[in-house]
Amino acid sequence: MIRKPIAKGYKDEDYPPIPTRTNRFMRKFWPYQIIRFFVLNLKIMRIIVGGHS
């Protein structure tokens, strides 16, 4: 998204995985993100409820 052009490597910041165009599209694709919104909320609810007795 904001990445500066780098090609030569040999610095820490040149080695991590960088998302592909499809990956970046899915991160902003509303129908998919709405599903993820509910899935993530459910996971969080589950860990709150399961965390105390």
Partner 1 sequence: MAKVVVLGAGISGHTAVMVLRKKLGKKHEVIMVSPNSNYQWIPSNIWVGIGQMKPKQVIFPLAPVYKRKGVNFKQAIAKTIFPEGDTAITNPFVEIEYVEEGKKGQKEKVEYDYLINATGPKLNFAATEGLGPDGHTVSVCTYGHAAHAWEKLQESLDKMAKGDKQRFVIGTGHPMATCQGAAFEYALNVAFEINKRKLMHLAEITWITNEYELGDFGMGGAFIKKGGYVTSTKIFTESIMAEYGIKWIKRAGVKKVEEGVIHYETLDGEESTIEFDFSMLIPGFAGVGINAKNKNGDDISAELFAPNGFLKVDADYTPKDFDNWSIKDWPSTYQSPKYENIFACGIAFAPPHSISKPFKSKKGTPIFPTPPRTGMPSGVMGKVVALNVAESVKSGKTSVKHKASMGKMGAACIVSSGYGLRDGMAATMTVYPVVPDFEKYPEWGRDLGYTVGEPGLAGHWMKLFMHYMFIYKAKALPGWSLIPE
Footprint of partner 1 (CB under 8 A): 1-4, 11-19, 26-28, 30, 33-34, 36-37, 40-41, 43-53
Query: Which residue blocks in the chain are alpha helix, DSSP H?
Result: 21-28, 30-49
Pick 10 or 15: Cβ nearer partner 1: 15
- Shortest distance in whole angstroms from residue 5 CB to partner 1: 10
Q: 16 burial class (0-12, 13-18, 19+ CB within 10 angstroms)?
A: exposed
Pick 1 or 7: Cβ nearer partner 1: 1
